[in-house]
Amino acid sequence: MMNTKTNEKNNSHAGLCLVQIGALLLAGLSTSAQAGPTIPFNNDGFVTISYLLQVWGQNRGYTSPTDSGSTSQFFLRRNRLLFSGQLNDYVGFYVQTDAGNDGMAGATDKSIFYRDAYITMDYTDSIRFIVGRFKNTFTRENLEGCFDPLTMDRAEWLAYTPWGGTRDTGVAMWGNLDNAKFHYQLMVANGRNDVNAPKKTPRYTARVTWSFFDPEADYGYLGTYLGTKKVLTVGIAGDYQSSVAYSDFLSRTNPQDYKASTVDFFYEQPFSSGTYTLSGAAMRYRTGNAINGTSVDPLLPQTSELGGGYLKGAYMLPNKVGIGRLQFFGRVEKSDYHLTSGYGNGKWDSIGANYYIDGQKLKVTGEFAKIKFDKQNPNDPSQRDYNQATVGLQFEF
């Protein structure tokens, strides 16, 4: 779990903080979120404006050579303004700004930037195009909506490719066949194109899925359908870019290709006893072991040889609890960075609950996580065992 997080938590303090934050959030929930306004124009066109916000309160343990304890903070995990619409039946657009993690670790007044900006062209259901900056078509969890997760959030690193991260700029062709049972996505994008790249080559990504029950026919997925669909989908994807990093950076020799693969599944089914969800994936990123080369490119991501997987599951009660629906979830995640130092490898275990007051439009989520590292790093507190408690409020307009 290569990250900036800190270690070893005071459990009783974390639990008290979790309860206090949850009480504060619930106290302000009295009205249901409404859909954003839609403005029609011409005969076929329209624009919809939406606002999406996630506010988190978090308590995290830490250790240091001189002290140990925990820290608490509130921050805006995601803070987005969204414009989407259609020019006509065939051409549409999607623009989303963000200023995420504002207030985290004392960093306030975050700059607003374009997280997504693309044009859609839908010729038929089997042939569609996306052009611009949009989500990578590689891992399932990255393609699951940021405001439609099953657990508190995605994997911290596993779901994201070393270059491009969550999004990349390029073009994708995608579509559905056989009544949307078969779904494909093909993407050509920038990938790595910074000053240290041996060559400026395109990145190629391909993803296919098969749905056994209700189809998942959109470009992206949901982390849970809240009992509205019976879904069993399996997927496989590959990612490739040639000459992305030198094994010997100082001499600029022995360029290596980037290759990645992933397999995943998603199952959700409602019963009279409640709704059951289970999802998992395994992924491996490879860059010719350049991260352990003779001299390492300083811009080479620590995730360039990352491998691992996750399994997450949930159970939603069949009836309302008070004014909303209650869903319990759990997550297990394992990461291996394949570094010669052995640092960063670890395991994430978490449990939590979602309380849906108005579906995903208005919900409260709480999660407690234990993060264990295979090897404690004496020089980096972020790579020592820690516990973390988080409560979040999600609002969509």
HEC letters along the chain = CCCCCCCCCCHHHHHHHHHHHHHHHHHCCCCCCCCCCEEEECCCEEEEEEEEEEEEEEEEEEECCCCEEEEEEEEEEEEEEEEEEECCCCEEEEEEEECCCECHHHCCCCCCEEEEEEEEEEEECCEEEEEEEEECCCCHHHHECCCCCCCCCCCCCCCCECCCECEEEEEEEEEEECCCCEEEEEEEECCCCCCCCCCCCCEEEEEEEEECCCCCCCCCECCCCCCCCCEEEEEEEEEEEEEEEEEECCCCEEEEEEEEEEEEEEEEEEECCEEEEEEEEEEEEECCCHHHCCECCCCCCCCCCCEEEEEEEEEECCCCECCEEEEEEEEEEEEECCCCCCCCCEEEEEEEEEEECECECEEEEEEEEEEEECCCCCCCHHHCCEEEEEEEEEEEC
Residue 159's nearest CA partner among 144, 148, 178 is 144
Tokens of 312: 């997450």
Report d(CA 163, CA 194) in Å as an integer: 10
Topology given in CATH for the domain delimited by 11-357+364-396: Porin (2.40.160)
Tokens of 33: 């979120």
Q: What is the pLDDT of residue 64?
A: 65
pLDDT per residue rounded down to tens, the chain (397 residues) = 444 333 333 444 444 444 343 433 333 343 333 468 999 988 889 999 999 999 999 999 876 666 677 889 999 999 999 999 999 999 999 999 999 999 998 888 889 999 999 999 999 999 999 999 999 999 999 999 999 999 999 998 999 999 988 999 999 999 999 999 999 999 999 999 999 999 999 999 999 999 999 999 999 999 999 999 999 999 999 999 999 999 999 999 999 999 999 999 999 999 999 999 999 999 999 999 999 998 999 999 999 999 999 999 999 999 999 999 999 999 999 999 999 999 999 999 999 999 999 999 999 999 999 999 999 988 888 889 999 999 999 999 9
Report which residue type is found at 262: T
- What is the residue extent of each domain of the chain? 11-357+364-396
Q: What is the pLDDT of residue 9?
A: 37
Q: What is the pLDDT of residue 382?
A: 82
Q: What is the pLDDT of residue 164?
A: 85
Residue 97's nearest CA partner among 109, 73, 79, 121 is 79
Q: What is the pLDDT of residue 70?
A: 86
